[in-house]
Amino acid sequence: MSSKRMDSGSKDIISNLPDALLCHVLSFLPTTEAASTSVLAKRWRFLLAFVPNLDLDNMIYDRPKMGRRKRLELRKSFKLFVDRVMALQGNAPLKKFSLRCKIGSDPSRVNGWVLKVLDRGVEELDLYIASEYEYPLPPKVLMTKTLVSLKVSGTDEFTIDVGEFFLPKLKTLHLSAISFGDEGGPPFAKLISACHALEELVMIKMMWDYWEFCSVSSPSLKRVSIDCENIDENPKSVSFDTPNLVYLEFTDTVAVKYPKVNFDSLVEASIGLRMTPDQVFDARDLVNRHHGYKRCKGANAADFMMGVCNVKTMYLSSEALEVLTFCCKKAIPVFNNLIHLTVETDERVDWESLPILLKNCPNLETLIFEGLHYGDLNQCFDKDYSFKDTNECYGDQGDTCQCKPWYGTPVWLSSSPVKILKVLKFGQISSYKDDMERQTDLIEHFLESMPNLEQVILFYDTTYDDDLKIVSTQLQMLEKVASPKCKIQVISDNISYSFTVYSSSSTKGLNFFKDTFPV
């Protein structure tokens, strides 16, 4: 009986699977690994011919440490391998073709592979071509009716020539470190307009500051992620006409103008606008600030921010917070739909624009700080900031403003609708020697001033158990809490424990329950 069971259990189940299913399984492997299965048995020898996905990558073997001779041998071997795979598959339909390789001055071999898969009706094309020489994308790629997804990246010499574009089925377009030549704006706008079904656009390491204009115009786009690399110049003109866009991730230097910003359907936005280094220097210069410097020259983010004011979820980088202070020539817009806001903080960036921003978020429910740092305002000459006679505006050194960034405009806290307040990286120390005291002081002020808080969560960046106890005990000592139903948690991932402090309507301060529990 036992021997029968052993015979039954030792059967090769995989061999009983149909060829179509085996090819489907092989399609998830890198092509070199899929090809190695041909030695298993006669039946496996030609399965690679029918695998619908090809994933070819010689970058993992082509490294400088190997030496020039070894790398040249591997490149030659890789090319021969790809040639054999192409010959084996013939004209069989292909769903996905992914190619990562380095080439020399002659791109004809790589172009031959790309053109071959286009003739086979490939639907997803993913190319990473590294070259010391200029490599223009074969024009036929941008005139392919079958492509649904196109991802193109490489070195700075990867270019897209100006020409005819027609990609009627393309839904996903990823461009990384791609040059559109000297004209820039017109061919890019032409490319986007040729993608009638485009839903996702990703542009990484783009440099359009020298373009006369950049326009992203598409009624079908739903997701856009743009990361522009150059920081030294302000783009001349940037426009968005994307009425059905629901997600935007945008990192760029503030443009001189935004002639059109149409985000009628936008739900979530991550904004990483920044000033040029020269503009940042002028904005942070103490002499300029004392003379009322309020506006950076040659850039205006007001129209862009007005365009995103309908979002429900928004992330602001610390640089974008600074842009709101210096590059919005109009008032910061009202965000009536915003319910979830995350703000990155930086010790070099003050919070001058934050009170106005939060005041203009009448329905905000969740506020998240990524870090809890702020730059000194150095604006004691301003009556709004030196409103207390008891304030000692300068420390012993006479060069550091001690005024609190939330004072002077307390209405943004006392009228805040925020129910959930989270602080990520709480306790992360900056160059300020009293940074921990500054952060705790700020949390206490939030608790004393925000009347609708239901939950405060501090994600403490510490490896010491006692640090959690100290902060929790300090919060327990508060004499006044604005919201009687607020629950406070101090959590550390490093320790995997949470301390919880509860406020109570029956007491003036906070009740601290000493029990701890794993997070």
Domain contains 424: yes
Q: Is residue 218 part of a domain?
A: no
Domain that holds residue 492: 411-502
Q: pLDDT confidence of 127, banded at 50, 70, 90? A: very high
Return the pLDDT at 402: 42
Alpha carbon distances (Å) from 466 to 74, 264, 489, 511: 56, 50, 15, 19
Domain membership flag for residue 445: yes
Mean pLDDT of 386-402: 40
In a domain, 453, yes or no: yes
Rounded CA gap, 492 and 465, in Å? Answer: 9
Segment 124-145 shows an average pLDDT of 88
Does residue 335 register a pLDDT over 50? yes
Taking a C-beta distance cutoff of 8 angstroms, is the pair 91, 119 a contact? yes
The answer to the question of residue 421 being in a domain is yes
Pairs from 177-184 (Cβ < 8 Å, separation ≥ 24): 177/153, 177/204, 177/205, 178/152, 178/153, 178/154, 178/206, 179/207, 184/208, 184/210, 184/211, 184/212, 184/214
Q: Look at 518 and 272; give whichever has higher pLDDT.
A: 272
The per-residue pLDDT for range 458-512, each reduced to its tens digit, is: 888 777 777 777 887 777 777 677 788 888 888 887 665 555 556 654 444 444 4
Q: Note whether residue 142 is domain-resident.
A: no
Count up the domains in the chain and report the number: 1
| Residue 73 to residues 66, 83, 84, 154, 301, Cα–Cα distance (Å) | 11, 15, 17, 22, 53
Is residue 336, in this structure, part of any structural domain at all? Answer: no
Decide if pLDDT at 46 tops 80: no
